[in-house]
Amino acid sequence: MPGKSSFSVIPLIAILLPWISLVVILAVPKGSRRVRLWVCFLGSLATLGVVLSLLPGILDGNSYTIKLASVVEGLEMRLTVDTLGYYFGLVLSFLWMLATLYSISYIDHKENRFFAFMAMCESFLLGAAFASNMFTYFIFYELMTFGSYPLIIHEETAMARRAGYKYLVYAISAGTVLFFAIVAHYFWSGGDLSFQELGTLSLASASRGILMTIFFTYLAGFGVKAAIMPLHGWVPDAHPAAPSPASALLSGVILKAGAFGIIRVVFFVFGIDLMRQLSLFTVMAVLACITIVVASVFALTQDNLKRRLAYSSIGQVSYIILGLSMLTQDGALGGMMHLAHHAIMKGCLFLCAGVILVKTGKKKISEMRGIGYQLPITMICFSVCALAMMGTPPSVGFISKWLLGSGALEAGLPVYIVILLVSALLSAAYFLPIIYIAFFRWEGDEVEGGQKPKLVFGKEADHKLIVPVVILAVLTVVVGIWVTVPGFPYSLVTKIVNVIF
Amino acid sequence: MEVEKTTELVFSILPTLALGLPILGAAAAAFAGERRARLRNWLVVASSGLTLLVAILMLARVFSSGTVYFNLDIMRIGDRFVGNLEVDALGAFFAFFAAVVWFAASLHAFKYMDHEQKRTRFFFFMLLTEAATLGVFMVQDFFTLYLFFEAMGLMAYVLVVHSETAKARAAATKYIVMTIIGGLSLLAGIFLYLGYSGTIGFVPPVESVWLTGSFKVVALACLIAGFGVKAGMVPLHVWLPDAHPAAPSPASALLSGVMIKVGAYGILRTVLTFFQQPPLHEAEGHVVETASHAAEGAAHGAAQGVAHGASSLATNVQTLGLIIIGFAVLTMFVGMILALVQRDIKRTLAYSSVSQMGYILFGVGCLGFLGAEGGMGMGGSLYHIMNHAFFKGCFFLAAGAIVFCAHELDMFKLGGLWRRMPITTIFWSISALGIMGIVFFNGFVSKTLLHHAILESHVLAESGHLASAGWIKAAEIIFIITSGGTIAYITKMTYYTFFRRPRKEDAGHIEHVKEAPLWMLAGMGILAAGVLFNGLFPGLLLGKLIAPTVETVHGLDPELVEHMANTHIFIWANIKEIMVPLAIGISIFILGAWPDLFGLKRRGPDIFAMRLPRWLGVDYWYVRVARASLALPFMGHRAYEPVKDQVVKGMKAGAGGTVQLVRDVIYPSLTSKPLGWVRENSLQLYGDARSRLMPRLREYQGDIAVGALVIAVSLTMFLIMKLL
């Protein structure tokens, strides 16, 4: 049942809605803090609502398109909501809504700047998600890069500035590389930058060498955001420096924007057949495997919680790359589903880290003894997500791991399973001690018969901090059990996979 | 690719109840909390009691009407990976005895937990672990099994670490490391199984897939290692002797009574999976249906499998059986030796569990070796699983009573407890007679069956002139020696704890010991009654419970199962067999305990206090490897930092050098001559360029703008790099 593509202004509305927050902040920068910030939240909620309104149509296989501008003949800015774009858009607008709610309580200075740039970033990212061709994607992607800079340096400490600076260096170099990729792509594909389900390039359009150059230029360009290993340098600095909701978004969504670009390149520009003919997948797979293992090992050595989480993110985003590189149905399914799964899990973990920071001021894991008694709900949610990251069933992490493993078997390469299991083992090694320290140690437990702290539920933190954490932790399990519910990642990603394979 | 089952599927709500009741109980107990402690304890007892009731009903239902299932997807990814609750006879059997032990343990815990902290947490996780454990038994595919298996392993961590002393923490850490590694190994095995059989169910749709897959050995090793960690199989047992004593006694009873059986259950399932042969016509259907890579392999396999026939399959399973027998013998012997030299009651019991798991695996190995004729091995194994659950559960609960009343677990510091705790002594003695395999107690029955199984294996190997005949003979001898050793360490423990006159320095303390509270006695009593029942009515149990369970296994010779069910247990030939172990056991006991027995002064070595060098144990090497591999990342990271600094320095130097090169060499060389000429003729050149370029410029405005942007971006980057 091929869906129909129809004109719709809804994508544009979704992109413009976050600007409401911006307008409100600009109009009444000194107005009541409550009203201002809650309007920002409502803006992101409305955006989510608008995105959700497209769900039934998308599940029917329709797509929605609107042309924004035409730069030159054949090169236009166009938004098209196809299933993949919609999937990413849904994930990001959902996480954004929760992060905005969280920020209302979390951000305590210069909140106007933070909320304004947050809204702007959401708008740009939605534009990138809904982009119908590489040109549009590039524009929004670069805008998002600059929009997210103020989020990273928000604390304005020396560390934050340095991290933001590093981020800019990396992102701008990546943008340049990406630009050359797009120019080459534009030239060799005969001016066709659009995303097609079977790819637009073929061996007929250019020689092998050129196609491979284009591919690797793209990979290098998007690889910076997706934190593929030699290009990951900015991630472990930016995450701890940014305020927690921003790190949740960085890890949950912005890193994924890079991965999303790679998905687009692999399946919608090159296409499965060409990928197979060029045997490009091996390089991707090797890079992904190295990243997964090395990042997990680095995570093990970190004592700063957010830095550990950041390294973990580097490894986990490469799950997506690994899934793509398998070029099998289950691999692609697992990889693409991991995009949402990881956003849920890591979003929750970073938000938990934020609660810990706000309530106890502790950043280092070694200082967190007995924190589970102080912040029981937060740490229970943290534990749930940490176990999910290890791939413990029933959770979204297990679903990804299972599908990736199944995809590896389909590809006839069980060696990937070894990588997945090593990664799971390492993530157990760096996540379980946190749970252990939080719940089974306490201050002064070296002395025999020391007084154990009392567990007190409720009243641990502001509801605005706790609610997003709990929602994400519940989703980690719920999405991991009722995988096939329409609107959950599986329903959307199977559609994509069925089309491209 | 649904495989037709020999037994029909019957819808029932019972599996869901068995899963749901403990979870509900856990929630209710957590809700009641410490403030309503009595209500909470009653809720725990009630929910585990109801679960036992459901388990009994389920057993009856399965035997009367085939496999019971509940049509709710526990896990589902698309249409290919669907996990249902589904209980066959084997699962119902395991669920039944697990529920019995759990009920007994919760009765015991009612009172026992009074002297522990964080009771609500303990009860909460105890019931959740029950749900997970029952879940493992109530599924028919590896996919869902893994879900429950992992859940059980992780939740039991809280039970092990419960007391939160340094010792318990260390034990729990070892436990969790082994659990996670075991779980991953299991997952790898399941993946490989999936890859080479194309299914996650327990029954492979194509038998011969196993014969062709090059990774089948790896798959098998992964599956057995994964389950073997839980089962305490030597050399993967290292967590067990630390974790079981560290946990509170009811939890130790559960760990030893039930949870290690989950490992045995998994190994049994694995062997049966390899062993059961599905009809061939389904294999063809499977190949047509699936077009995946795995199925292509399966198609080749099917073609070859028909050619090879069943003989090669039999050889494979036979080898597997032999390997399992090898591990089983190692497990039982090492466990026995280590149990013999312990002082701590619970540690002795833990090593005893290792040793007894060897017996169970021994039966499973015989099943594999004998193939279609392996009814005896499986029957003996199942019987011993149930027996061990009862007597080891009772032992641990009694140990709990001892520590509760006498606050001491070192058997050499105890003594004369039979006067103080007569009922506990009776229950303990019943269990002791059971584990020793004395006539009319349950161990006798299962050890007899196991011995018959090894004799049958030997006959088979002899008649087939197999090279393994000698090995099997050796296994039989070790089996007998181990039985003797078991008798020795149990007698030793019973003697020192209950019957020896206490030492002078401990006598005052022991004077004040009182009998255990009623709740604890009730828990022990149930299990002791189970020991007696299993010992006195073997015919009934074999005919009504074990044989029907074994019969459901596809491909076993029904006549031999019948033969197993009708084995005469209480005949002289069998009773004669236990004389040798009894003689060995009593000799070892007297050799070790003569100074205390006869009130003499010790001369020569004390075999009950033997201390082996640490490096002899695998544990020592595991810990060393683990420490080293944990240090590795840190070392790597430390080594990486200076390299990174050098790279960054190099990049900066490179950028600086380029700038210098341009400024000092390239730019001056350009400005010296050619540019002088350009300067002189610049006006003319400008006019030329203008007239030529302007029209084009208008045409390519867009491109130039884009180019400018690129240059701007590059320049910015360059500047930033320079600043860096």
**Which DSSP string corresponds to A382-413?**
HHHHHHHHTT-SSSHHHHHHHHHHHHHHHTT-
Cα distance from B642 to chain A (closest Cα, Å)?
Answer: 15
From CA B187, how far away is CA A396, in angstroms rounded? Answer: 16
- Considering the domain architecture, whether residues B298 and B331 belong to the same structural domain is answered as no
B716 in contact with A at a CB cutoff of 8 Å? yes
Q: Please indicate, yes or no, if residue B358 is contained in any of the structural domains.
A: yes
Cβ of residue B77 closer than 8 Å to a chain A Cβ: yes
In tens, the pLDDT along B593-647 reads 877 888 777 766 677 777 777 777 777 888 888 888 777 777 777 776 777 677 7
DSSP state of A455: P
Displacement of CA A280 from its chain's centroid (Å): 24
- C-alpha span between B389 and B381 (Å, rounded): 12
Torsion on CA atoms B26, B27, B30, B35, rounded to nearest 10: -110
Within this chain, do residues B320 and B206 fall inside the same structural domain, yes or no? Answer: no
Cα–Cα distance, B368 to B316 (Å, whole number): 9
How many Cβ atoms from other residues are within 10 Å of residue A249's Cβ? 28
Looking at residue A265, what is its pLDDT? 92
> Which residues is B141 bridged to in the sheet?
B201
Structure tokens at B105: 């343990």
**Among candidate residues A371, A363, A380, A377, the one with its CA nearest the CA of residue A309:** A363
How distant is the alpha carbon of residue B670 from its chain centre? 77
pLDDT of residue A209: 85
pLDDT of residue B175: 92
Q: How many CB atoms lie within 10 A of CB A479?
A: 23
CB B210 within 8 A of CB B204: yes
User: Is pLDDT at B297 greater than 60 in this prediction?
Assistant: no
Edge-to-edge order in the sheet of strand B81-87: B9-11, B67-77, B81-87
pLDDT(B232) > 90: no
Q: Chain centroid to CA B612: how far?
A: 27
Whether B701 and chain A come into contact, CB under 8 Å, resolves to: no
- B178: tokens are 């082994």
Radius of gyration of chain B (CA): 34
Q: Which tokens belong to A320?
A: 């997506």
Q: DSSP state, B666?
A: I
A493's CB contacts (< 8 A; 6+ apart) are: A87, A333, A336, A337
DSSP 3-state of B578: coil
Least confident of A164-168, B650-654, B711-715: B711-715
Length of chain A: 501
Q: Is B379 exposed, middle or buried (0-12, 13-18, 19+ CB in 10 A)?
A: buried
Q: What is the pLDDT of residue B698?
A: 60
B675 in A contact zone (CB under 8 Å):
no
Residue B308, both tokens: 């090879």
Token pair of B651, please? Answer: 């990049």
Residues in contact with B378: Cβ distance below 8 Å, sequence separation at least 6, in sequence order: B268, B363, B364, B367, B550, B553, B556
Residue of A312, A395, A398, A403 to mutate, testing the B interface (most B Cβ within 10 Å of its Cβ): A398
Q: For residue A304, give the 3-state DSSP assignment.
A: strand
Number of domains in chain B: 3
With tokens 């060696």, the residue in question is A415
What is the reported pLDDT for B478?
92
- Do B679 and B552 share a structural domain? no
Query: How does pLDDT run across A145-194, given as a tens digit for each residue?
Result: 989 999 999 988 998 988 888 888 888 889 999 999 998 998 888 888 88
Q: Is the pLDDT of residue B664 over 80?
A: no
Please give the average per-residue pLDDT across B546-564, as a whole number: 80
pLDDT band at B712 (very low <50, low <70, confident <90, very high): low
| Residue B556 distance to chain A (closest CA, Å) | 32
Distance of CA B358 to the CA centre of its chain: 14
Task: Name the pLDDT band for B717 (thresholds 50, 70, 90).
Answer: low
**Window 260-299 of A, Cβ < 8 Å to B:** 297-298
A70 contacts in chain B (CB < 8 Å) = none
**A429 or A1, higher pLDDT:** A429
**Nearest Cβ partner for B78 among A411, A424, A484:** A484
Q: Would you place residue B211 in the very low, low, confident or very high pLDDT band (cuts 50, 70, 90)?
A: very low
**CB distance from B147 to chain A under 8 Å?**
yes
**ipTM of the assembly?**
0.89
pLDDT in tens, A254-280: 999 999 999 999 999 988 888 888 887
Contacts of A191 (CB under 8 A, 6+ apart): A74, A75
- Name the nearest CA neighbour of B564 among B452, B404, B675: B452
For A:314-353, CB contacts with B below 8 A are: none
How many Å lie between the alpha carbon of B367 and the closest alpha carbon of chain A?
31
**Residue B540, in any domain of the structure:** yes
DSSP string, B276-334: ----HHHHHHHHHH--SHHHHHHHHHHHHHHHH-HHHHHHHHHHHHHHHHHHHHHHHHH
Residue B305 binned pLDDT confidence (cut-offs 50, 70, 90) = very low
pLDDT at site A2: 54
Closest CB to B714: pick one of A176, A424, A425: A176
Percent of chain A with pLDDT over 90: 47
A76 touches chain B (CB under 8 A): no
d(CA B710, CA B679) in angstroms, rounded, equals: 28
Show residues of chain A in contact with B161, CB under 8 Å.
440
Q: Which of residues 437-456 of A touch B (CB under 8 A)?
A: 440, 445, 448, 452
Q: Do B446 and B512 share a structural domain?
A: yes
pLDDT at B540 over 90: no
Chain A residues in contact with B215 (beta carbon < 8 A) = 414
Q: Quick one: B329 and B452 in the same domain?
A: yes
B307 assigned to some structural domain: no
CA distances from A467 to A103, A342, A461, A473 (A): 12, 19, 10, 10
- Within a domain: B321: yes
pLDDT computed for residue A29 by the predictor: 78
Question: Among A124, A249, A265, which Cα is nearest to A185's?
Answer: A265
For the segment B392-407, what is each residue's pLDDT rounded down to a tens digit? Answer: 999 999 999 998 888 8
Which chain A residues are closer than 8 Å to B634 by Cβ? 300-301
Measure CA B399 to chain center: 24
pLDDT range class, residue A61, cuts 50, 70, 90: confident
pLDDT for res B304:
43
Q: How many Cβ atoms sit within 10 Å of the Cβ of residue A58? A: 24
Both tokens of B7, joined, read: 């037994």
- Asked if residues A381 and A469 have their Cβ atoms less than 8 Å apart, the reply is yes
Query: What number of other Cβ atoms are within 10 A of residue A146's Cβ?
Result: 16
pLDDT at B721 > cutoff 60 = no
Name the residue of chain B whose CA is nearest to A442's CA: B164
Touching B: A residues 462-481, CB under 8 Å: 481
**Which of A172, A408, A484 lies closest to B713 in CB terms?**
A172
Domain assignment of residue B558, yes or no: yes
B319 and B298, same structural domain? Answer: no
Return d(Cα A331, Cα A405) in angstroms, integer: 8
Q: A109: buried, middle or exposed (CB in 10 Å: 19+, 13-18, 0-12)?
A: exposed
Q: Which residue(s) pair with A486 in the sheet?
A: A488
Q: Is A309 on the interface with B (CB under 8 A)?
A: no
Give CA angle at B80 (B79, B83), nearest 5°.
90
pLDDT band of residue B160 (cuts 50, 70, 90) is very high
| Cα of A295 to nearest chain B Cα, Å | 10
Best of A484, A485, A496 to substitute, by most chain B Cβ atoms within 10 angstroms, is: A484
Candidates A169, A411, A494; nearest CB to B78: A494
Are B468 and B363 contained in the same domain? yes
B627-B629-B633 Cα angle (round to 5): 115
On whether both B512 and B608 belong to a single domain, the answer is: yes
Residue B308 lies in a domain: no
> Tell me: the pLDDT tens digits for B161-175?
988 888 888 899 999
Question: Tokens 């340098």 sit at which residue?
Answer: A233
Between chains, do B717 and A169 touch, taking CB under 8 Å as contact?
yes
pLDDT cut 90: percent of chain B above it: 27
> Among residues B624, B658, B690, which one ends one of the domains?
B624
Burial class (CB in 10 A: 0-12, 13-18, 19+), B293: middle
Cβ separation of B77 and A399 shorter than 8 Å?
A: yes
Q: Which of B302, B337, B366 is the last residue of a domain?
A: B302
Tens-digit pLDDT profile for residues B428-474: 999 999 999 888 888 899 999 999 898 888 888 888 777 788 888 89
Determine the distance from the C-alpha atom of residue A1 to the mean position of all C-alpha atoms in its chain, rounded to a whole number.
31
Residues near A38 by Cβ (< 8 Å), separated by ≥ 6?
A104
Q: In what order do the strands lie in the sheet with A5-7?
A: A5-7, A63-72, A75-81
Q: Which one of B274, B302, B330 terminates a domain?
A: B302
Q: Note the residue count of chain B.
A: 724
Enumerate residues 409 to 428 of chain A having a beta carbon within 8 A of any beta carbon in chain B.
409-412, 414, 417-418, 421, 424-425, 428
Whole-prediction pTM value? 0.86
- Is B213 inside any structural domain? yes
CA dihedral (A91, A93, A98, A101) in degrees, to 10, reads 170
Is residue B59 one of the residues assigned to a domain? Answer: yes
Phi, psi (5° rounding) for residue B13? Answer: -85, -10
Distance CA B151, CA B154 (A): 5
In whole angstroms, give the CA distance from residue B351 to residue B237.
9
Query: Could you state, in order of their start, the residue ranges of all structural domains in chain A?
Result: 5-500
For residue range A379-430, what is the model confidence (pLDDT) as tens digits?
A: 999 999 999 999 888 899 999 999 999 898 888 888 888 899 999 999 999 9
What is the rounded CA–CA span in Å between residue B240 and residue B196?
33
Distance CA A350, CA A246 (A): 9
User: What DSSP element (H or E) covers B76?
Assistant: strand B67-77
133-162 in A: which are within 8 Å (CB) of B?
Answer: none
> CA A399, CA B145: separation in Å to the nearest integer?
15
Nearest to B188 among A298, A393, A421 (CB): A421
Report the alpha-carbon distance of residue B138 to residue A6 in Å, rounded: 50
Query: What is the span of the domain harbouring residue B688?
Result: 646-723
**Using a CB cutoff of 8 Å and minimum separation of 24, what contacts does B509-512 make?**
B509/B406, B509/B408, B510/B406, B510/B414, B510/B415, B510/B416, B510/B417, B510/B420
Exposure string (b/e) for A188-219, b if CB count within 10 Å is 16 or more? bbeebbbbeeebbbeeeebeeeebebbbbbbb
Q: Say how far apart CA B513 and CA B407 lie, in whole Å.
A: 9
Confidence tier at B291 by pLDDT (50, 70, 90): very low
Pair B143, B78 in one domain: yes
Name the least confident of A17-21, B260-264, B718-722: B718-722
pLDDT at B576: 84
Distance spanning both ends of chain A, measured CA to CA: 15
Residues in A touching B716 (Cβ below 8 Å)? 172
Kindly give the pairing relationship between strand A75-81 and strand B9-11.
unpaired
Both B710 and B612 in one domain: the answer is no
Listed range (A164-178, A312-326, B208-222, B506-520) with the worst mean pLDDT: B208-222
Q: Is the separation of the CB atoms in B320 and B217 below 8 Å? A: no
